[in-house]
Homo-oligomer: A and B are copies of this chain.
Amino acid sequence: MTKMHKENNLTKNQQIVLDLIEKSTEPVKAYSILSNVKKKGMKAPPQVYRALEKLIKVGKIHKVESRNAFIACKNTNCEVSNATAFSICQACEKVTEIVNSKLSKYLKSFQDSTGMKYKKYNLEFFGLCQKCKSK
């Protein structure tokens, strides 16, 4: 096969997986991705997990750890997923990435008592979204 990726340096499989995640309004699970990309020729888990791994590495997607699911990055120019925060509704499972410079500034510069300096953090907030709260 000839050239198989766009200017962003994603390969065909990576682009297929990214397209699917970006289209989704909710976090997508790996095996749900798999069943949805079978028609495009991706047949086995490793193909999906490899694409996910790469997409995370380049900051195109994030993993929502508490849900084992994947979500597209909201920041148009996000290049590395080293500072992530999510809002998760415990009722409807809606997940939204929190983009808040005050918060990220605070956390990026956080120093614990041991003096350990952090390269990366992931924060997940849980509660009820507006919709679910008013039910």
Contact = CB atoms under 8 A, between A and B. Distances in A.
Interface of A: 65-66, 87, 90, 96, 98, 100, 103, 106-107, 110, 112-130, 133
A64 to B, nearest CB: 9
Query: Which of A90, A107, A116, A126 has the most chain B CB atoms inside 10 A of its CB?
Result: A116
B125 A110 contact: yes
Nearest to A98: B112
Contacts of A116: 87, 125, 127-130, 133
Given A66-B65, A98-B112, A126 B120 contact: yes
Given A106-B106, A112-B87, A124 B126 contact: no
